[in-house]
Each structure stands twice: as structure tokens, then as C-alpha cells.
Amino acid sequence: MFRTRRTPPRPTFMLGLGAQKAGTTWLHTQLEGSPQFARGYFKEYHVFDCIDVPIQRWNRDKVFRRAAEESTLALAGERAQARMLHRASMVLNPQHYFDHFSALLSRNDPARLAADVTPDYALLPARRLSKIRDHFAERGIRTAVVFLMRDPVERTYSQIRMQQGRQPRRFPAPAEAMVERIHDQEIYASRSRYETTIAAVDSVFDPADVYYGFYEELFEGNTFREICGFLGIDPVDADFGDIRNVSQPKDDGGLPESAVRAAAQHLAPTYRAVAERFPDRDLARMWPSSRFVL
């Protein structure tokens, strides 16, 4: 009797597009617990945002500054971090990026999945997403997009509080005031315009290769097991006590109504687009800020 040989599952590259402060660090940490996950040396590689996104010029400068610092150490005969030089080479020549992940998947048995979860990739244009898909396809690797969303006002508030905690001198204004001025802060507003990211993703990828999720549902039910299935790996038990990069809420109960209203109204197109794109979700329940625009 002849038995049919099963074709091994196609390896998958997870392109994590964000959003910032929407659970991406927690998700990546849980995936690291799978023996089928080929871990790289970064969660966020920050390659394509450095190439394509003008407001990320500061990060491009940072990548090359770090590479220069490590080169100086190496020239002095001291220990240097090769990964910093390698990342800079990826920005200069993206072929090194695709080679890196292809190597991770080919030399790690029983690896099925590798990932770059860089929330700033939510700002990438469709042409870049198409190139990423095609370059991995040439290597026999499926590209699977994961995009997690969070109430835009809460997402922005959480991002600002995190930055104030890390760099209080750079962000001296009260978080409430910064949220109210969201229309003057492109660095925040652009990361909450989910409709732009969704339009780019939908124009490039097959629906079977895209997972849209919500931060508000991430830590409940079988959501993580569902994501594992989408990514083609066996489910692992998630640690729901391990929530990373959490910004502590204010003792005063959070944002005043006036700040929530102003920010929500400015981002009204986002609330409306998400409500239309995902009619099965109860946004009024998940995103309380939507009450001002829906």
C-alpha cells in the first residue's frame, strides 16, 4: 500500500502592522512561546518605515547612528552588536531583510513562522506592501498581515502617557492637552487613521492572508488561538497576566469629556470607516469614544 506524502505547511512571515498601543508587544511575546516560531533579534525591525515614511526620518537617523556607534566600537577592538549593523544594511538594501527571514525559517526546525511586528508599518503605502508580499512569495513564503486596532482616542492617550513616562522633558504638556491638540500632532493622528491602513492592505492581500483584530478583544475568549490558526502554527497557551508596555491610567479617571469629544470628532472618518468595514462588531461597546461620532 502506498501512502500519499503530506506536503509540509508553507512557512509564514507575519507582517505586524500595529497599531501602536494595541497589544502588539503582548502578541509577539506569546508567539515566542511557540516552538514553531523562529525568533529574530528584534520585535520591531523598522526597515521599511525608515525608507518610505517621511515622518520617520528621525528613526532612519537613529538606525544609522546606532550602526555608526557599533562600528566605532568594532574598530576599537571592543565588543559590538552585529545586529545593529545588519539592520542598517537592510535599510540600505532590503534584499538583506528578505534573506534574513528566509534564513530564519529554513534553518530552524520545526519553525513555521517568523515575524516583524513594527507598528509604524501601518503607515506604509500599498506599493511597499505589494513588494514585501512578492519578495517573500519568490522564496516560497506566505506573508500574513496582522493589524490590531484600538479605540483611537484611547490609543493616542496611551501612547502619549507612555512617552511622557519615558521622556518627561520632551513631553512636558499634560496628556489631556496633547490629546485635544491631536489635529496639530501628525505623529499621533496618522497612527490612528486605520482606514488608510485597511485600504492599503485590502488592495494588496488576499482576505485569507489578513487578520484584523481589536485590542479590546485580544485578551478574552479564543482570540489568541484564532490568531495562531491564522498564522499556521499550533495553538499555545497565552499568558494573560503578561501584558507589556501598559501605560498606567490617571488617578483622575482619565480624559475629560471635552478632550475625548474633540479628538473623536477629529477622527470621525476613522470611526465611521471601521464601523462600516466591520459591521459585526459592536463599536459602541468596544470603543466608548465613538459615542461622539456614531
Q: What is the pLDDT of residues 111-131, one digit of tens each?
A: 999 999 999 999 999 999 999
* 146-168 mean pLDDT: 85
231 or 109, which is more confident: 231
Measured distance CA(266)–CA(177) in Å, rounded: 15
Cell of 248: 498606567
* 247-273 mean pLDDT: 79
* 79-96 mean pLDDT: 97
Residue 252 in this model has a pLDDT that exceeds 60: no
Residue 143 in this model has a pLDDT that exceeds 90: yes
Confidence at residue 245, expressed as pLDDT on a 0 to 100 scale? 54
Residue 210: strand pairing partners: 145
Lowest mean pLDDT among 181-190, 252-261, 270-279: 181-190
Confidence at residue 8, expressed as pLDDT on a 0 to 100 scale? 60
Q: Are strands 210-214 and 142-149 parallel, antiparallel or unpaired?
A: parallel
Amino acid identity for residue 37 in this structure: F
Confidence at residue 248, expressed as pLDDT on a 0 to 100 scale? 47
* 135-158 mean pLDDT: 95
Q: What does the CA dihedral 192, 193, 199, 202 come to, rounded to 10 degrees?
A: 10
Confidence at residue 175, expressed as pLDDT on a 0 to 100 scale? 67
* 8 Å CB contact between 39 and 103: no
Residue 243 in this model has a pLDDT that exceeds 70: no
Confidence at residue 190, expressed as pLDDT on a 0 to 100 scale? 87
* 161-174 mean pLDDT: 71
Confidence at 258, pLDDT banded by 50, 70, 90: confident
Please write the tens of the pLDDT for every residue from 11-57: 999 999 999 999 999 999 999 999 999 999 999 999 999 999 999 99
Measured distance CA(212)–CA(227) in Å, rounded: 10
Residue with cell 534573506: 99
* 252-276 mean pLDDT: 87
Confidence at 255, pLDDT banded by 50, 70, 90: confident
Confidence at 256, pLDDT banded by 50, 70, 90: confident
The interaxial angle of helices 223-231 and 24-31, nearest 10 deg, is 60
Confidence at residue 7, expressed as pLDDT on a 0 to 100 scale? 54
Residue 176 in this model has a pLDDT that exceeds 90: no
Confidence at residue 160, expressed as pLDDT on a 0 to 100 scale? 81
Q: From residue 275, give the alpha-carbon distance in Å to each of 194, 231, 270.
A: 11, 25, 8
Residue 163 in this model has a pLDDT that exceeds 50: yes
Residue 249 in this model has a pLDDT that exceeds 50: no
Which residues make Cβ contacts (< 8 Å) with residue 179, sequence separation at least 6?
A: 153, 156, 157, 160, 255, 259, 260, 262, 263
Confidence at residue 46, expressed as pLDDT on a 0 to 100 scale? 97
* 8 Å CB contact between 115 and 13: yes
Tell me the whole-structure pTM to 2 decimals: 0.91
- Per DSSP, the residues of the chain read ---PPPPPPPPEEEEEEE-TTSSHHHHHHHHTTSTTB---S-S----HHHHH-GGGHHHHHHHHHHHHHHHHHHHTT----HHHHHHHHHHH-THHHHHHHHHHHHHSTT--EEEEE-GGGGG--HHHHHHHHHHHHHTT-EEEEEEEE--HHHHHHHHHHHHHHH-TTT--S-HHHHHHTGGG-HHHHGGG-HHHHHHHHHHHS-GGGEEEEEHHHHTSTTHHHHHHHHHTS------TT---SPPPPPTT-SS-HHHHHHHHHHTHHHHHHHHHH-TTS-HHHH-GGGGGT-
Amino acid identity for residue 272 in this structure: R
Confidence at 216, pLDDT banded by 50, 70, 90: very high
Residue 185 in this model has a pLDDT that exceeds 80: no
Work out the mean pLDDT of the chain and round it to a whole number: 89
